[in-house]
Structure 1
Amino acid sequence: MALLLQREQSAIQQGWAAAAGGANASPKAQAEASSVLSALLPAIQSDTSFVAGSGAWQPVKAALEQLSASRAAQGITAGNTSAFVLALKQPIFAALQKELQSDTQAMVQAISEVTGLVDAMAQWTVDAYQRTREQLIARQQEELLELSTPVIKLWDGILAVPMIGTLDSNRTQLVMETLLQRIVETEAELAIIDITGVPTVDTLVAQHLLKTVTAIRLMGADCIISGIRPQIAQTIVHLGIDLQSVTSKATLADALALAMKRRGYTFTKTARQV
């Protein structure tokens, strides 16, 4: 089959792109087909198995992974990507039929080998596509976490972190790392963690908050927790969670007022200018 693929490479490439994309195959499909076929020929000549994981097949697998990553980034489905790879069978079958039409047994054997190879390539492509999608989703989740937990400089030496949504270990770790880094960068002495947007506070959430407060204090800063609503206060008391060592306020405004007072600022309300 190696000789056939080498001799008919151009026709197989065009036939593959046409089978996958119709009569008007895009230049992108042509380039993808060319990339995979260029790696496929020397791998087949090595006379080793794709499934066995021989080093000769690594360029083919890399080309398929690149194909998967490119199509995943474009929003093309895994099924469509797999179908593109499976479409390689059609031009190869046509070339085999032309080459071995007088030897039915050899043609059947060659078709069986091609079917097994292309099926394995398609499966590898789907697996690579899935890995790419999982990496993309994980990266997007990290970006969303960063966006949902911004560290804001409210005043000189005072930072605030408005928490929105459910707190878990990963998110708390991200908040802690980001906040501690900002404390170092701004030399802040006070950090306000506002949990107004946190729907519930249970034992696990309280432990996460205490760990964050402890880490802030180890950096030489102090912490105030704001957004303690009546329902949350009752839940904390009911669960027997000890937050007495942590300064807390009902609203972010109250926490800011306390932070300003600790920083030595005083404010006087003046007559309204008309």
Structure 2
Amino acid sequence: MSSAEAAVRKRISSVLRAEADDIADRWVQLQLDRGALGKQVSEVELREEADDLVAALTTGLDSDIPLENVVATHRELYQAVSELSLRRARAGASPTGTSLAVLYLKEALLEAVQRQTRDGDELFTCALFVNRLLDTAGALSFETYVEGREEIIRRQSRQLLEVSTPVVRLWRHVLAVPLIGTLDTARTQVVMENLLQAIQENEAQVAIIDITGVPTVDTAVAQHLLQTVNAVRLMGADCVISGIRPPIAQTIAQLGIDLSTILTRATLADALTAAVRLTDDSSAQADPRDAR
């Protein structure tokens, strides 16, 4: 670190300490006045964020970390910026508003520097330094916001998949999964996980996968079904696929997909009849009186 940079850091750090409350108040006011956040974040939350970030900036500038890396590598500063962005992402604020909120701190900090000195050269040097520092913080806030929103979207998508693929307990030892819509890799994985968990919890002997509501069956969908059936068998249960309509049967035959090892039925009613027979057969085999 050069002596010039060290001097500027020391100067800005001293301003942050001397006017921490005023800087935080001004930053909060700028965000409220310019409406960058709408109503997603309360004034109390803004003040808490401001206090945390101003304190983290102070300790970050006091460190020996180079200016270009201080935001990314100083733990307290990185955490303050990241948590601010994640809170805004969860609250539904826009990414632009989140970045601007961080950048408004420039104005608040430079106003405080201006109150502390009238030297033009020093003001110019401090302004360059503050811009470099908080531009990096703004970029980090945008990146963290995007990552946070993507995680929220992934979690919501997963929840929607689970809701759209319920495992229904029809009666003792018999489960059913009514599928509606397109069956892709992600959805098949959720179906498999939920079904296997339900088989274990309910000690199920038969699982019915009903594809009446699946519009088309191609090679990929058939492979997904085969994988699910094999997983169910590994759990010691039988699997019945119902809803094989004539167009789907024709498509499967044309694709040359072999489902001969899988018990299939045209309707859910037929599958229920097969499930009753399978559970009756299993009960008969398990009854010790039948062995005499």
- TM-score calculated relative to the size of structure 2: 0.85
Residue 129 of structure 1 is aligned with which of 145, 149, 160? 145
Contact kept, 8 Å, 1:46 with 1:56, in 2: the verdict is: no
Residue 175 of structure 1 is matched in structure 2 by 191
Residue 257 of structure 2 is aligned with which of 229, 233, 241? 241
After TM superposition, the structure 1 = structure 2 runs for residues 84-163 of structure 1, keeping only pairs within 5 Å, are: 84-101=101-118, 103-163=119-179
**Residue by residue, what CA displacement relative to the aligned partner does 1:98-121 show, whole Å, maximum 9, x if unpaired?**
3232x2122111100001111110
Residue 16 of structure 1 is matched in structure 2 by 27
Deviation at 1:15, TM superposition (A): 1.0
Contact kept, 8 Å, 1:42 with 1:56, in 2: the verdict is: no
SS of residue paired to 1:211: helix
SS of residue paired to 1:86: helix
AA in 2 matched with 1:170? A
Distance in 1 between residues matched to 2:68 and 2:81, nearest whole Å? 14
**Residue by residue, what CA displacement relative to the aligned partner does 1:58-77 show, whole Å, maximum 9, x if unpaired?**
11110111111111111111
**Residue by residue, what CA displacement relative to the aligned partner does 1:178-199 show, whole Å, maximum 9, x if unpaired?**
2122112211111100111212
Residue 60 of structure 1 is aligned with which of 71, 77, 84? 77
- Cα RMSD of the aligned pairs, angstroms, is 2.0
Distance in 2 between residues matched to 1:50 and 1:59, nearest whole Å? 15
Aligned pairs, number = 264
Deviation at 1:229, TM superposition (A): 1.3
Distance in 2 between residues matched to 1:177 and 1:23, nearest whole Å? 48
Deviation at 1:34, TM superposition (A): 0.8
Higher normalized helix content (fraction of residues): 2
SS of residue paired to 2:166: coil
Deviation at 1:50, TM superposition (A): 4.8
Q: Cα 1:193–1:23, aligned 2, differ >3 Å: closer, same or farther?
A: closer
SS of residue paired to 2:211: strand
1:251 aligns with 2:267: yes
Q: Cα 1:113–1:54, aligned 2, differ >3 Å: closer, same or farther?
A: closer
Runs (4+) off by over 4 Å: 53-56
Structure 1's unaligned 5+ residue stretches are 266-274
Distance in 1 between residues matched to 2:267 and 2:136, nearest whole Å? 60
Contact kept, 8 Å, 1:82 with 1:123, in 2: the verdict is: yes
Distance in 2 between residues matched to 1:253 and 1:86, nearest whole Å? 63
Deviation at 1:53, TM superposition (A): 5.1
SS of residue paired to 1:193: strand
AA in 2 matched with 1:99? Q
SS of residue paired to 2:170: strand
Deviation at 1:224, TM superposition (A): 0.7
Residue 272 of structure 1 is matched in structure 2 by none
